[in-house]
Amino acid sequence: MQFSHRAVRLALPYYSGTLQFAHTMSLHDWIPEPTILHEVAEKLRNNTALAIKDHNKVDYPVYLAHVLAYLVDEQDDVRAFAGRLIINDLILAIRQSSLAAGTYLKAAVLHALHHSSSTPHTRATTLELLGTILIGVDEKYWPDCPQQLCSALESDHVDFTESILDLLKRWARHFQYRLDSNSSRQQSLVLVFANTLSIIDHNSSTIRVNSLATLTYLISNDTYLLLPYIDNFITALLRHHANSDTSLKNLVAQAFASLLSSKRYLEMLLPYVATRVGEIMLSYLKEDSPVIVLQSMRFWLNLVQSTAVDFRLISFLPRLIPLLLRAMTFDRTKLWLYDSPEHPQKSFDCTPDDSTTNDADYCNLPQDALNRWCVRKSAADLLDCLAQNHCTDISKITIDTLTDKLASDDWLQRELATLLAGAMACTDFAREHLLIFVPTFIAQLEHAPALLKETTCWTLTRLSRWYLANSAVFSEHLEQNDNFLAILHAILGRFHDRHLKVRQAAYGAVADLGLYAKQNLVPYTDIIVPQLIRAFDDPPRTTNTIVVLYDALHYFAEAAGPTLRSHQHATELLLILSTEWSLTPVDDTSTRDGVVALLRATSAVVNALDTATIAESHVLVCARAIDIIRECLLRYQAWKQDPATGVRAQPDEWLLTYGFALLSSLSSVAGFDIAPRFTGGDDEPDFVSLVYLCLTHQTPPVRQAAYGLLGDLAIHAFPLLKPHLPAIVKVFLRQLDAHLEHGEQRDDPVVHHRYTSHLYNREEDSIRALANACWAVSEVVVQHSEDDITFRPLVLRLLAKATPLLAPQNFLDQLRLNVADLVRRVALIHPEYAAPLLPEFVRGWLDVISKMVNATEKGSMFLAFFSTVLQNPTAIDKCLRLVCQTFLAWGHPPTLEIDTMFEKILQDAQCRDPASWQLQISLLDTVSRRRLSERYDL
């Protein structure tokens, strides 16, 4: 059988608009060779076709696409097999295709999607291929693909429209928060939004739901481009809010919450809040579906946090608070889930928000139980925010309920009252109403059901946090056996409760106090440390329990700091950690959360203790940590060499992040030589070379921690680092180039941190990583002070690339400060390196200096600056007034050396150009002119 490109004419179009594109592009730009096409089709029929990566024929992927789209006489399985081969090696398929062939491939894919000859099987394969192109490929390959798909939304075939809309929904969700980043995405954003909005009232419930989901994802970009459509979108939401479809109601609530959190769309929604939208969201709080209730609470939380709508909120409080209390009530029929060992549900998590155990304990819960747990937590969070902003109004509504329910004979009603008290414990409500209930709460910890004990731990923790935050008010009582000490002893007593969930709540309470109270917790070190030590000996040891205990030790050690050094149990703490490391398997992924928590705890304890006297304990700690980190790094090395192994083959990024942090702490320990532990065996790569690989890791915190470790090694073990210096500096220079030219391209600028419930911004994290890199390289410069013939050109390039970051822009202050410190260190050692470039960054450098507070650091910065100016005096001719203003505004008396240098710079400038000198000095403010006259007689 002969095959030719004329196969494209065999069938009528399924949707004619796109076929025209396919037809014209396919005929004029690329034509398949019949012989090759016949060979490919024959191998597909025999199921012997090679994968793209194993095939060396030019444009082989395009022949596969031709089979998928145009060989209508072939069996479905053959055509779908061709599409599957493209999906499996899509990136390679794109690389192997010429420009014309690539255009033909796109046309063929669209033809396979739209044409009536495509069967459900081939169309499903084509949809999967398009989904992979939309999400898994650089958008530069096919930037207008979403726009071309939009035209298909007008099809009369409902199932086809549903499929296309599902693709666009996945695209919108994948690029959520970042569709406004370039022009091609902006065009697609507007066109997809407009076309999707036009079919939101479709007869198909699936199309309505997917349309609303797509629109909700798109508005999260918060771009001005969508402003013309927002009013129509709000009107559509109001039309569909009463729909009986639970999924649609959930999306309506989610959309209103997203609009309310937007800076650009908030004003457009506000007129509706006080009338229809507020009433709708109140009604959604009464829904049986916990998912809808959660989205409604998100709306109310955004409303509370918006300062522009306080007056609109107050009128809803009398009806909102009872609904929140209803949501906070534990379902009596679900108590069996709480007590079930298979479902470790917790009524409330006392651990801090960035604890390693945040919500991970609940991944095995049934989805309904998980949602209802989140409803309780969200209701309490919302009540907390309300109390922060409207304490007086909330108090009037809740105080009678709190008093009555605490006196109830029903322990679930007492649990609700305790939860209510905890939600409001960090406000002035505590001082006015809650202190009298402290004995009641403490009594509940002795003989009560586990759920009530756990909630009481959480409430007492928040009340303790309020106590310590207001320690100045209670300074006369805190050091006596008053309320706080009674609370602390009560919580520590639950360390040994027979119920594991109560223990976890008590451990989490100490972690929470360590995180928020910090140094205010120091006076109670003698009470807390022995109980922490005893807790490690209490069986049974479950993964969840031990992880929360590690967190408690971690945050308490950070809070106590150097106070632990003189503590009688200091040695015992580190020995316990050594034992924990000996019990921790290196390659067991099931204990990953425990390893991360142990890394964090060990790092905090090592930083806190004066460990020179107990360095023997470090040997085991360091050995086990390095074993785990080395194994992670070897896996990362293997993955970088063969990314085809998949994402799951990569090591856990947080093991690397906290592992590097621990090694940084260990490298700084006095009397402990970490260098021998970093030398690899005969068959193992050097440890520093493995760390070097992580300087380009895709996760910013890993890069930041890797640079941090290299900076500490530069200080404490420089010989280890010296062979790798040129490579390290070159990587840093490439990252500076990327940042300065177009900013780093991020796959997920805003994502959920794995160990925190908060969103974090990946763009900011990338800048922080770059700031850490500046610091690490500056430490390298200090250690490598000799004028090395190979290192000198790198330092010159480093200055040329880094100094533009000193310009006042939207960079984080820490990045600019670290760049200035890098320039300072170079200038103090080799001012002649920085002097030629000084005119380009003098204003930025002075701006950073003017914002510095520490007198010693500022003096060192002025010393470096003046040393550089003396090497290139004319660099400041155009900004002499700014130099004088910045230096004379410094209230701290300068050293004799700095004073002398400044005077010489002034005299040289006056001699070079007296007229310019006179003009710039006359522009100084009165205080600066007086100081100039008094100090230098000028």
Q: In whole angstroms, what is the distance from residue 730 CA to residue 750 CA?
A: 28
pLDDT over 60 at 868, yes or no = yes
Mean pLDDT on 526-547: 87
Residue 755: the pLDDT is 31
Mention every residue, 6+ apart, whose C-beta is less than 8 A from residue 130: 109, 113, 145, 149, 167
What was the pLDDT predicted at 54? 60
Residue 19 scores a pLDDT above 70: no
* Range with the poorest average pLDDT among 352-361, 518-527, 814-823, 860-869: 352-361
CA distance 863 to 879: 18
Give the predicted TM-score (pTM) of the model.
0.74
Which pLDDT score, from 0 to 100, does residue 35 have?
A: 84
Lowest mean pLDDT among 101-105, 436-440, 788-792, 826-830: 788-792
Confidence band of 643 (pLDDT split at 50, 70, 90): low
Give the Cα separation of 207 and 214 in Å (integer). Answer: 10
- What pLDDT score does 785 carry? 65
pLDDT digits (tens, 9 = 90+) for 885-916: 899 888 777 888 998 999 899 889 889 888 88
21 CB-contact burial (10 Å; exposed 0-12 / middle 13-18 / buried 19+):
middle
More confident residue, 470 or 649: 470
pLDDT of residue 117: 66
Cβ neighbours around 573 below 10 Å, total: 23
| Per-residue pLDDT at 238 exceeds 90 | yes
Phi, psi dihedrals of residue 13, rounded to the nearest 5°? -70, 140
Q: What is the rounded radius of gyration, in angstroms, for the C-alpha atoms of the chain? A: 33
Label the pairing between strands 759-761 and 750-752.
antiparallel
100, 104, 107, 113: CA torsion to nearest 10: -150
- For 311-338, how does the pLDDT look when each residue is reduced to its tens digit (9 = 90+)? 667 888 899 999 999 999 888 877 766 6
> Looking at the predicted structure, is the pLDDT value of residue 99 above 90?
no
DSSP string, 624-679: HHHHHHHHHHHHHHHHHH-GGG-GGGSPPHHHHHHHHHHHHHHHTSTT---HHHH-
Least confident of 347-351, 378-382, 843-847: 347-351
The pLDDT of residue 12: 24
Helix 391-406 to helix 411-423 angle, to the nearest 10 degrees?
160
Which residues, in sequence order, are bridge partners of residue 760?
751
Is there a cis peptide before residue 873, judged by omega within 30 degrees of 0?
no
For residue 649, pLDDT over 80 is answered with no
366 CA to centre of own chain: 27
Among 33-42, 112-121, 913-922, the least confident range: 112-121
CA-closest candidate to residue 135, choices 178, 98, 99: 178
Residue 343 burial by Cβ neighbours in a 10 Å radius (0-12, 13-18, 19+) = middle
Q: Is the pLDDT of residue 787 over 70?
A: no
Q: Is the pLDDT of residue 702 over 80?
A: yes
Report CA-CA distances (Å) from 314 to 261, 277, 390, 420, 428.
19, 15, 8, 19, 18
Q: Between the CA of residue 723 and those of 621, 719, 726, 727, what are the distances in Å?
A: 27, 8, 8, 9
Q: String of b and e for 235-273 (b: at least 16 CB within 10 Å)?
A: ebbeebbebeeebbbbbbbbbbbbbbbbebbbeebbebb
Residue 157: pLDDT above 50?
Answer: yes
Give per-residue pLDDT as tens, 808-862: 765 567 888 989 999 998 898 888 888 999 999 999 999 999 988 888 899 999 9
* Dist. CA 809–CA 819, nearest whole Å: 13
Among 180-184, 464-468, 593-597, 782-786, which is the least confidently predicted range? Answer: 180-184
pLDDT of 79 strictly over 80: yes
pLDDT of 121 strictly over 50: yes
How do residues 556-570 score in pLDDT, each as one tens digit?
999 888 888 777 777
pLDDT in tens, 734-750: 888 877 764 443 333 33
Q: For the ranges 55-69, 243-257, 718-732, which has the lowest average pLDDT?
A: 55-69
Distance of CA 491 to the CA centre of its chain: 32
Is residue 86 a contact partner of residue 67, using CB atoms and an 8 Å limit?
Answer: no
Percentage of the chain lying above the pLDDT 70 cut:
80
Count, residues in the chain: 938
| Residue 751, H or E segment | strand 750-752
| Residue 312, pLDDT score | 67
* Predicted confidence (pLDDT) at residue 24 exceeds the cutoff of 60: no
Rounded Cα distance between 258 and 256, Å, is 5
Check residue 179 and give its pLDDT. Answer: 63
Task: Select the more confidently predicted residue: 117 or 124.
Answer: 124
Q: What is the pLDDT of residue 877?
A: 87
Least confident of 451-460, 585-594, 813-822: 585-594
Angle at 298 between CA 292 and CA 304, to 5 degrees: 140
- Average per-residue pLDDT for the chain: 79
Mean pLDDT throughout 635-641? 78
Residue 353 pLDDT grade (very low, low, confident, very high; cuts 50, 70, 90): very low
Is the pLDDT at 507 greater than 90, yes or no? Answer: yes
Quote the pLDDT of residue 550. Answer: 93
Task: Please tell me what DSSP assigns to residue 894.
Answer: P
170 has a pLDDT exceeding 70: yes
Amino acid at 461: T
**What confidence tier does 721 reach under pLDDT thresholds 50, 70, 90?**
confident
Sign of CA dihedral 315, 316, 318, 319: positive
Is the separation of the CB atoms in 143 and 183 below 8 Å? Answer: no
SS3 471: coil
Mean pLDDT, to the nearest integer, of 294-308?
84
Could you tell me which residues are beta bridge partners of residue 751? 760
Whether the predicted pLDDT of 433 surpasses 80: no
pLDDT score of 544 more than 70: yes
pLDDT over 50 at 17, yes or no: no
> 844: which residues sit within 8 A by CB, 6+ positions away?
803, 806, 807, 808, 816
